[in-house]
Amino acid sequence: MPLPPPETIVTRRLTLRPLREDDAGAMHAAFGDPDCVVYWWRGAHESLDETRKMVGENATSTTYRTWAITEPDGPDADQALGWVTLVDVRPDVANIGYILRRDRWGRGYMTEAAGAVAAHGFDKLGLQRIGADVDPDNAASIGVLEALGFAREGHLRAAWKTHLGPRDSVIFGKVRAGLGD
């Protein structure tokens, strides 16, 4: 059954709204930046068209949910600064993924955004588990997951073929309160 678009989530400093196809230009600041995508499966997008394709697929997907991370006020109000996605793995289980453009790093935005999406997944979508798959050298992403209470559950060797060559994955997971605590 196709998923409906994600609901808008408002946090203390951010608005997480459904990703739109017209967010491609703003999202290219992240996907075109080699530092933002160093631990992704592929390198930086060389053209805006590559980003348009990826954003379009995420914005129109009926199999996973993607929220644009936006600031509600200021000169960049409603501009996509990054995204958080929940990809259904099986009933009541999803994986979380995220990216944030570099000029917003170090502000705690990703912890706030990913935390809000995870809470939404448990409280509104009824998920029992949310997992994450992270490159072991991605200290910033690991820090976000640990700050949100995700547990390190495993290490997979050569789990991804990437632009850097074969890369390992560290598996994190969090279960809804009351399940397996």
pLDDT tens digits for 20-63?
A: 999 999 999 999 999 999 998 888 999 999 999 999 999 999 88
pLDDT at 66 over 90: yes
3-state helix, strand, coil in the chain (%, to 5): 30, 35, 40
What are the strands of the beta sheet with 151-162, ordered from one edge? Answer: 9-10, 15-18, 64-70, 82-90, 93-100, 129-134, 165-175, 151-162
The terminus-to-terminus CA distance of the chain in angstroms comes to 31
Q: Indicate the helix (H) or strand (E) that contains 17.
A: strand 15-18
pLDDT at 3 over 80: no
Residue owning tokens 């949310």: 130
pLDDT at 1: 61
pLDDT tens digits for 115-155?
A: 999 999 999 999 999 999 999 999 999 999 999 999 999 99
